[in-house]
Structure 1
Amino acid sequence: MALRSHYYLSIADLAHARGPVPSLSYDGAGPDDLAAAVQEALRTPSLFERWRAMQEEPDEVDPALGATDAAATVSAHVHDLRIDVDLITDLPMSIVRHRLNLLIGSNWQLRDMRKA
């Protein structure tokens, strides 16, 4: 059984939190939209499969990078002038990082991580 982790993230400017590829990028307007997009990206292979299809050699992409967690949960809320995101999953940080970077680029910061 995989270890579940609780990731605490923050986004300083949600209005500019977009990934580098527009067709893969988050396009919502608020914290609830962001939480839903990240949760879907972790629970389903859709985002990964779209990204993989864009690669020069899609069949050479490590299939382990497409792992999903059907029980992943994500919530986001405004705190001061930033968005705080709570993410609970058994996916490793390397996969979480990849999905976040596709969705919102480098516009996020890991604030803490703990065993869930």
Structure 2
Amino acid sequence: MASRNHYYLSVADLAHAHGSDPALSWDGAGPADFAAALEEALHSPALFERWRAQQPEPDEVDPALGATDMQAQVHARVVDLHVDVDVLTSLPMSLLRQRLNWLIGAAWQLRDVRPA
């Protein structure tokens, strides 16, 4: 079994954080909505499948990029003037980064990674 990690992220302006593709981008109302959207993107291949369908050769996309973690947990809360996000998952950072970029673009910053 893959090791689980806590990824600690910060989002400076969640209200204006959106991915570049509206079909994949998060369009929620606050930290709880974002946490739910990211958790769903880690639990389910639905977001990956929407992205894959947009590719010129969808059947040639590596299916490993759509890996999921049904045990993933995401918590987000407002702290000072930003949102702290704690992600607990066995997925590698490359896949977490992929889902974050689809949902909120480059509006996030990795603060720390620790084994769970």
TM-score (norm 1): 0.99
* Residue in 2 that maps onto 1:42: 42
Aligned to 1:28: 28
1:10 aligns with 2:10: yes
**Secondary structure of residue in 2 paired with 1:109:** strand
Q: In structure 1, how many angstroms separate the alpha carbons of the residues matched to 2:43 and 2:10? A: 20
Q: Distance in 1 between matches of 2:23 and 2:50?
A: 9
Show structure 2 runs of 5+ residues with no match: none
Q: Give 2:99's aligned residue.
A: 99
* Matched letter for residue 36 of structure 1: A
* TM-score normalised to structure 2 length: 0.99
The one-character-per-residue Cα deviations of 1:50-99 (angstroms, maximum 9, x if unpaired) are: 00000011011111000000000000000000000000000000000000
Q: How does 1:81-100 map to 2 (within 5 A)?
A: 81-100=81-100
4+ residue segments displaced more than 2 Å: none
Aligned equivalents of 2:81 and 2:91: distance in 1? 29
Q: Which residue of 2 aligns with 1:110?
A: 110
Aligned partners of 1:4, 1:48: CA distance in 2, in Å? Answer: 21
Equivalenced residues, count? 116
